[in-house]
Structure 1
Amino acid sequence: MMADLPGYLRTCLHTGKLALLAILVSGGIVLQILACALYNNWWPMLTVIMYVLLPMPLLFFMGSDASLLSESDNGWVNATKFLTGASAVGSIAIPVILKHAGIIGWGALAMELSSYFIFVLAIMCCIRMNDDDDYYRFV
C-alpha cells in the first residue's frame, strides 16, 4: 500500500510518525514533571530511575540475533527478560507504593501512571515504526 504512494507523500508520512513519537515522549515527560510540581512533592520522580534502568539490560545483554519475544535457552537472554520485566513492574509499583504509604495523592498517582502508559505507547509505536521495511529506504 505504501509503495503505491509518491515518494514525497511517503516521506511526509514518516516525518509525521517521528513527530508523533516526539509528541508522545514530550507528553510523558510533561506529565511526569507535573505530577511532582503541581503537588509540590518530588517523590514521584523516583520512577525516572526505573525509566533509565528499563533499557539497560536490553542494551547490555541482548545480541542482535535474539528477540525478547522469542523463546530461548540462553541464560543471558532470560536474564535480560527478567531484568526488563522487573524494571517495567517497578515503574508501576513505585507510584502505587508511594500512594499506599500516603506520600503522594491520587492526582499525582494518576499523572504518574498516565505518564507511564504514554511512554509504553511511544515505545510500541517506535517498535511498529521500526518494523516497517519501507522506512529506512527513504530516510
Structure 2
Amino acid sequence: MFSSSILLQILACAIYGNWWPMLSALMYVLVPMPCMFFGGGSTQFLSSSDGGGWIDAAKFLTGASAVGSIAIPAILRHANLIETGAMLIVFTSFFIFVCTVLCFHRVSLDEEW
C-alpha cells in the first residue's frame, strides 16, 4: 500500500510535468519521525490519553505533519503551481498512506503477532 502511495505521488508529478507535488512526499518522511524518536517506535502513545511533555510534543508533530500533507497540495493549487488533477492524485496518495498507517497501528496493537 505504501508503494502504491509513492507511485501515485510520482505519477502526479510525471503526468502533469511538474515536480512541485513531491513537496508533500517530504511530509510522508516526517510523519513517522515523532513515533520513532519520542514513542520508542510504537504508535500506542497516539491513542493514549496520558502523556507528558515529550509525548504531547510527539502528538503535536505527528498531527502537524499529517495536516501538512494535505495543506501543501492545496496551497500549491491555490498558487496555480500545480493542476487540479495533480492535487487530487496527491490527495488519493495521502488517503492510501493514511490507510497504511492505520493498518500498521492496528497490527502493532495486536499482541498475537
Structure 1 consecutive aligned stretches of length 4 or more whose deviation exceeds 3 Å:
none
5 Å matches for 1:36-115?
A: 36-63=13-40, 67-115=45-93
Equivalent pairs: percent with the same residue?
A: 56
SS in 1 for 2:89: helix
Report which of the two structures shows the higher radius of gyration computed on alpha carbons: 1
Q: Work out whether residues 72 and 78 of structure 1, in 8 Å CA contact, stay in contact via their aligned partners in 2.
A: no
Q: Distance in 1 between matches of 2:105 and 2:13?
A: 29
5+ unaligned residues in a row in structure 2: which ranges?
A: none
Q: Distance in 2 between matches of 1:106 and 1:81?
A: 31
Residue 133 of structure 1 deviates from its aligned partner by 3.0
Q: Distance in 2 between matches of 1:46 and 1:109?
A: 12
Q: Work out whether residues 36 and 42 of structure 1, in 8 Å CA contact, stay in contact via their aligned partners in 2.
A: yes
Letter matched to residue 112 of structure 1? V
Q: Distance in 1 between matches of 2:106 and 2:25?
A: 24
What TM-score does the superposition give when structure 2 sets the normalisation length? 0.90
Residue 91 of structure 1 deviates from its aligned partner by 0.4
What TM-score does the superposition give when structure 1 sets the normalisation length? 0.74
- The alignment covers a number of residue pairs equal to 111
Residues 63-117 of structure 1: per-residue CA shift (max 9 Å, x gap): 46x6111122411111111111000000000000000000001110000000000
5+ unaligned residues in a row in structure 1: which ranges?
A: 1-23
CA distance 1:71–1:132, shift in 2 (3 Å): closer
**CA RMSD in angstroms, aligned pairs only:** 1.5
Q: Work out whether residues 54 and 84 of structure 1, in 8 Å CA contact, stay in contact via their aligned partners in 2.
A: yes
Farther-moved stretch of structure 1 (40-49 vs 71-80): 71-80
